[in-house]
């Protein structure tokens, strides 16, 4: 699943391609339309596909920003401001092309589900192999309450204090530390990849109860998480399988990962272990991480 660095990289490329352009027409794949007709919320969330197509027509894209793992398209028409939310799910990807045939990887081209035809020519294309992503057109951010529960951006000044306060709440204090730092209501945008890397660097076992880690160590952990997220942004994100940037290119952070997906610990060379934490596979070194 694309995490904060991957979404940030995509937004930095998407913004100049999208801002100032007007959506002339929207097309949606038959498989999404059929899924919606069967009562399944496939990609287009909160409204019918026909309503989505009609309400998207004529919208001017004013700004494109990242919030946690979400892409926020600030749009407007006739002075009325709205918000298009995009979450990439496991395999979502955006492409800026002149024709759908210009999406050069077949696996993405075969799974194009939403095409925004721009008034000045060209397309913004949303592809999603597993269809776990979402597009949601809102009047206000508050129209989708889960968005209001996201933690501050990890790079913001108040983010560390917010994180520390969360770790002391009864809701979190007895949970495994990895589950806590992957919770978007505690730290925005840190998923399985970067939680794995941060805990390995800190030599903390992913299943260690949060209340068994000192405040000083939690502060250090937070700093390490932010450093790793920034390193990944600078490296263009991690391409483990299906992440691509707007140009269809992979990131390079996967070449720097020390523990995620590894079979051998790079420090002590012992075989790594795996366990399930909050439904995700956690890779760790039982000798180095305590």
Q: How far is CA 119 from CA 18, 61, 78, in A?
A: 11, 11, 16
Residue 163: which CATH number?
Answer: 1.10.8.50
Alpha carbons within 13 A on the beta-carbon side of 114: 25
| Per-residue pLDDT at 239 exceeds 70 | no
Mark which of 126, 149, 172 sits at the end of a domain. Answer: 149
Decide if 289 is inside a domain: no
| 191: in domain | yes
SS3 247: coil
List, for residues 140-174, the tens digit of each pLDDT value.
999 999 999 999 999 999 999 999 999 999 999 99
131 and 196 in a single domain? The answer is: no
pLDDT at 231: 95
Number of domains present in the structure of the chain: 2
Give the domain-ending residue among 129, 149, 169. 149
Return the CATH number at 30: 3.20.190.10
Output the pTM of the full model. 0.94
Strand segments, DSSP code E, in 214-279 are 273-277
> Which of the listed residues 91, 118, 149 is the one where a domain comes to its end?
149
Decide if 206 is inside a domain: yes
Q: Reply yes or no on whether the pLDDT at 275 is more than 90.
A: yes
At residue 86, the 3 state secondary structure works out as strand
140 and 164 share a domain? no
Q: Is residue 39 part of a domain?
A: yes
| Nearest residue to 73 (alpha-carbon basis) of 117, 14, 114 | 14
Q: Are residues 260 and 176 in the same domain?
A: yes
Please write the tens of the pLDDT for every residue from 18-72: 999 999 999 999 999 999 999 888 999 999 999 999 999 999 999 999 999 999 9
| Residue 201 clears pLDDT 90, i.e. is over it | yes
Would you please indicate which residues are annotated as catalytic (active-site) residues?
Answer: 2-3, 69, 280
Q: Cα(43)–Cα(8) distance, rounded to whole angstroms?
A: 21
Determine the structural domain holding residue 12 and report its residue range. 4-149
In this structure, are 126 and 186 located in the same domain?
A: no
């Amino acid at each position: 699943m694309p995490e904060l660095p991957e979404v940030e990289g995509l937004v930095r490329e998407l913004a100049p391609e999208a801002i100032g352009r007007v959506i002339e027409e929207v097309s949606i794949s038959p498989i999404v339309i059929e899924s919606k007709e069967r009562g399944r919320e496939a990609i287009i969330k909160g409204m019918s596909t026909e309503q989505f197509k009609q309400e998207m027509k004529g919208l001017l894209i004013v700004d494109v920003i990242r919030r946690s793992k979400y892409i926020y398209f600030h749009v407007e028409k006739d002075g009325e401001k709205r918000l298009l939310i995009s979450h990439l799910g496991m395999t979502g990807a955006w492409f800026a092309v002149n024709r759908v045939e210009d999406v050069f990887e077949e696996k993405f081209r075969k799974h194009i589900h939403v095409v925004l035809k721009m008034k000045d020519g060209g397309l913004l294309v949303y592809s999603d192999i597993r269809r776990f992503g979402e597009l949601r057109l809102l009047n206000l951010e508050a129209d989708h309450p889960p968005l209001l529960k996201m933690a501050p951006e990890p790079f913001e000044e108040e983010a560390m204090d917010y994180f520390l306060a969360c770790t002391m709440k009864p809701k979190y204090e007895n949970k495994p530390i990895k589950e806590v730092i992957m919770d978007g209501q505690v730290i925005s945008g840190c998923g399985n990849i970067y939680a794995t890397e941060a805990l390995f660097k800190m030599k903390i076992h992913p299943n260690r109860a949060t209340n068994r880690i000192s405040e000083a160590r939690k502060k250090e952990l937070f700093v390490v998480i932010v450093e790793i997220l920034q390193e990944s942004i600078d490296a263009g994100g991690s391409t483990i399988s299906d992440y691509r940037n707007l140009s269809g290119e992979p990131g390079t952070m996967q070449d720097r990962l020390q523990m995620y997906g590894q079979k051998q610990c790079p420090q002590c060379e012992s075989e790594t272990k795996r366990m399930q934490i909050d439904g995700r596979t956690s890779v760790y070194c039982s000798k180095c991480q305590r």
